[in-house]
Structure 1
Amino acid sequence: MSSRDFRPAVLDLGDALLRPWGRTLDLPGGTVPALVAAAADPEIARWNPLRATGPAEAEAYLDRCVTGWAKGSAAAFAITDAVDGSLHGNVALRWTDQAEGVALIGYWLLPTARGRGLATRATDSVTTWGVETAGLRRIELWHAVGNTPSCRVAERSGYPYEGTLRASHRYDGDTYADEHLHARLATDPAPSATVRP
């Protein structure tokens, strides 16, 4: 493994833990059913690439996460409650240019976890972890132009808006949508110094 590989870790946010996705992750009621339920949420289904509409797809997702961790190419964290272990969401990094230190970050939250700043704190925590442990230099964050909550998370996490990527991604499998590009550099000030919660 190189110094730029992602290595499994548990990150503590106080009220939540960021734990590596995988077959050994034990969520209340089962990890596979939790993923299937998350994929059924209309907002997650609309804006995120989680394709786990049944047990086989959820297991394939977990296998991809395990492979990403094993190769050091991706770091997918389940956001779980610090007390009861229930699933709140997901935040993940993956290399887009490992040699140059450039990665992409994404996230989603279940409805019960929204509106508490959890996505912002998880995104900031994983960003800081990636910079400190894997030498991230630039982390990009893309979201559909219409996904206003994601835009707010990006800005509050210290990812300023850099531009619009036209006809960039298929969210519904048919039509290409424009996306906003946000990015954070390892040398940028901490979000608490630049934005208000």
Structure 2
Amino acid sequence: MVDPLPATPVRLDAPGLLLRAYVDTDAPDLTAAFADEDIARWNPGSPDPEAVEAFMASRNDWSTGDHASWAVADPTGRLAGSVSIHRLDRDQGDAEIGYWVAPWARRQGYAVRAVLLATRFGFGPLGLHRLYLYHAVDNPGSCAVALAAGYLHEGTLRQSFRYADGVHHDEHLHGRLSADPEPERAAR
């Protein structure tokens, strides 16, 4: 059985990284991130100010118990991305994890570190048995993040999800069990 969530985001710290609630000062960076071509292609989100405000409010409200979502912040507190444990199935003890990184923070290890930290929260305080993720086969960066965070490639789902371009893309399914060892990179 999965442990209950608090009503608001739990702050999680790691070297060079902070997972926290969204704050009002994140709005300009969220607007810019949602306007980025790569984020818009693979992730939901609109740069419209009302949509940005609604996104932050929904991610900061854990009271439904179906997700744990965080703003990923760099050491200065600036928004670097997003990570979320969602589709939480309390009976099965599993959930999906998703992430994106803002253009100004890419290739600096934020995605892998954020996924590792959120995974530890999922397997630790939440008591999950399994976490999984999907990404478009055409998104090799997301595949690299999944593998580096210890999520094994379990298969390819043919034309399984229609992304923003209106096309049903093939997706990779990756999974990690609570009993799986931390990836070597994370142990350092």
Q: TM-score, normalised by structure 1?
A: 0.87
Structure 1 CA distance, aligned partners of 2:58 and 2:163? 20
Q: What's 2:74 paired with?
A: 81
Whether 1:151 aligns to 2:143 is yes
2:154 aligns to what SS in structure 1?
strand
Whether 1:36 aligns to 2:20 is no
Structure 1 CA distance, aligned partners of 2:172 and 2:55? 26
Identity across aligned pairs (percent)? 42
Structure 1 position 4, deviation (Å): 2.4
The correspondence for 2:56, drawn from 43, 47, 62, is 62
Structure 2 CA distance, aligned partners of 1:116 and 1:31? 19
Q: What's 2:176 paired with?
A: 184
Whether 1:141 aligns to 2:133 is yes
Structure 2 CA distance, aligned partners of 1:90 and 1:109? 7
Structure 2 CA distance, aligned partners of 1:178 and 1:90? 23
Q: TM-score, normalised by structure 2?
A: 0.91
Structure 2 CA distance, aligned partners of 1:132 and 1:45? 32
Q: In the alignment, is the contact (CA less than 8 A) between 1:88 and 1:113 conserved in 2?
A: yes
Kindly provide the CA deviation profile for residues 27-81 of structure 1, in whole angstroms up to 9, marking residues without a partner as x. Answer: xxx22222111101111111112x12211111121222233x1122111111112
Structure 1 CA distance, aligned partners of 2:145 and 2:74? 19
Q: In the alignment, is the contact (CA less than 8 A) between 2:72 and 2:81 conserved in 1?
A: yes
Q: In the alignment, is the contact (CA less than 8 A) between 2:160 and 2:171 conserved in 1?
A: yes
> 5+ residue gaps in structure 2?
none
Structure 1 CA distance, aligned partners of 2:178 and 2:74? 28
> 5+ residue gaps in structure 1?
none
1:100 aligns to what SS in structure 2?
coil
Q: In the alignment, is the contact (CA less than 8 A) between 2:2 and 2:93 conserved in 1?
A: no
Number of aligned pairs?
Answer: 186
Q: In the alignment, is the contact (CA less than 8 A) between 1:156 and 1:196 conserved in 2?
A: no
Segments of 4+ in structure 1 off by > 4 A?
Answer: none
Q: In the alignment, is the contact (CA less than 8 A) between 1:10 and 1:17 conserved in 2?
A: yes
Give the AA of the match of 2:18: L
Root mean square deviation, CA, Å: 2.0
Q: In the alignment, is the contact (CA less than 8 A) between 2:74 and 2:80 conserved in 1?
A: yes
Structure 1 position 20, deviation (Å): 2.3
Give the AA of the match of 1:113: A
